[in-house]
Chains A and B, each alone.
Chain A
Amino acid sequence: MRVKYVLNEVLVGLWRNVTMSIAMIITMSVSLFALGASVLMYMQVDQMKDFYYGEIQVSIFLREDVTEAQRNAINQAIDTNPLVKDKTYETRAEAFKRFQVMWQDSPDFINSVGPDSLPESFRVKLKDPEQYKAFADQIQGQQGIQDIVDQRELLNKVFDIFNTIQLGSLIGAVFMAGAALLLVGNTIQVAAYSKRREVAVMKLVGASNWFIQAPFVLEAVVAGLIGSIFAFIALFLIKVVLLDGRLQALTNVLTPIPDGNVWLMLPLLAAAGAGVSAITGWITLRFYLRV
């Protein structure tokens, strides 16, 4: 009986103040969407780091006038270095071949570069890509090296962009959550005011506090849950329609987002939406429904 009473009160409450309820649900879903997007992006960057850091190499380009002895010395220095996992050597001819394949769509550009204009190089994979600095310092002293390039630095620039977007969406989520909280608080105040006679009688005859407050708090929680479902649907649609559809080329570069991660957002957003609403509702009522 009591459960039925409380549920009925919740539905009646949401309907009685339907414009406020809709406003509450919309702000909730926008805020939770931004939160979900931010978390997904965070997981994505993590996953991409794992993937790309496993692939990256340090390239040691040799000078054009490098001698046989210098090359051997460098080779030996790399082989004996404990930081190195494995190493390949690329001759000028091989470098040019790769260059030809890479730019095969622009024959003019290829023709302007002679087979001798690309340097020979060692391509080194480190056991721990973070150790680049130490490795570079140890090899730098060798004669005949023109340049040492770490691909990690290039990747870091890309990741910095992702991190900025993710942070931006998190800040957006926080501001929207602030607006959602104020709306929840206001909606509950209005609801409590419109039911003030009932509340006064309930207090008078000794209804327990949870019984008086539960319908109001649950009203906010239900709105939060509905908002989280909308936010999840939006995330899912964007993933299916944009990332798996039109922008697939982009996703191939960025490593695809696993469906599991998107599904994970449903319980996460639901918990965030319901939890935030419940806490706000409860705090509001502590000020407006004193015994």
Chain B
Amino acid sequence: MHKFDTNVQHLKYKVLREVARLSWADELLENILDIPNRIITDKKPTVRCCVYKEKAIVAERVKIAMSGNKLNPNVIEVIETACDECPMGGYEVTNACRGCLAHRCMDACKFGAISFDKNHVACIDKSKCKECGACAKVCPYTAIISRRRPCENACKIKAISMNEEKAAAIDNSKCIACGACVYQCPFGAIMDKSYIIDAIDIIKKSESNTKYKVYAVVAPSISSQFRYAKLGQVITGLKELGFHTVVEAALGADMVADSESKELVEKGFLTSSCCPAFVQYIEKNFPELLPHVSHNLSPMATIAKYLKDNDKGCKVIFIGPCTAKKAEVQKESVKPYVDVAMTFEELQAMFDSKDIDISTLSESFLENASYFGRIFARSGGLADAVAQGIREHGDTEFELKACSCDGIEECKIALMKKSKNVLDANFIEGMACVGGCIGGAGCLTHGDRNKSEVDKYGREAFEKTIGDAISVLK
């Protein structure tokens, strides 16, 4: 299995594939209770205490694969029975501590939480420890480790805590739906809701695109995914699934770069609006900065709006690396344009639900956007595109000072500085995922190569400038 990074993704994929397979055949309701039996076929448990618990958890996964708990507005959901209730010890001293003379750990601790026992081994007083990690950083033997839960560790905005039953709980008032916890939980206890049955329904009811046309809008990070096949084969696969045609979200990015660069010159300061998790973060934590958020719709919504304006009644399904896009399409401002948002993980499940082996297909073209629209997929790309937009408009007097924030922690720092008026930049590019969209939770695979794949895809673009790419739209 080389399609995924982890077994968690693989299990989730198997559930999605089964739900999709039954959806295509209109047999989902009759067979829904049988899905856990089809997926857990071993007589002995592989992770949990017994196969019955494993099946019960799969049943919960089926629910989430079918758009989950409707009463919970968040698109990210915890499966409480799947949460292994990991210990939460905070910082602990391991037996690697040699009881040295230097005591750097004690000096580093600003809270006086470190003392030494009769064997000169360091001890942490939990009542004083603030979990800052300063002691762990300075120990020359790396003897102090963090025993924080992987989900809490992944959630840099501290939206995850433990409930009374010791299971993970998401604070919806803080969560930005970035999906970091989904990707990081080693037990797969947090999942993003899936709307693939809605996508399948839309495709089926189009009656081979005769009732209305169904457009697939794909994010540029697709160039770093489905590595076992060529991008052109993925595009053919999408058409085999029943999409009328495939359009690059990167063309929407070109449109955004064009208007955002104008908006920036006009207003003098701007934060980007492409990343829905970043925008949600501002809404929830820095509402006073909202007037500075670019008024542009995201690239996805921008190109979807164009499609809907020019082909009345058509349907648009977005496919990307992002779980937060699923929340974005529920916003009143985006709802009219995008019918369903799904991830690359879900697309793989959809291909396999129809037994489409994309590696055997012929190649189709995907050629709408410029280099600059395409590099939106990686950190720094948006700022480069805005700089290009300013150049193309001939606004030579305007000096762009971009602050590209790679991951939500960097976003937080930049926004904090801006709110105190000490940020030395006039444009904040905010990307909640580290690396940009290529680090998104809905990617099949993550890795260092993804950035170079996106850059390569960018360089291969037929159109070299933003202006040329969008000239056909006027």
Partners in one complex: no
Q: Which B residues form the contact surface with A (CB < 8 A)? A: none
Q: Which A residues form the contact surface with B (CB < 8 A)? A: none
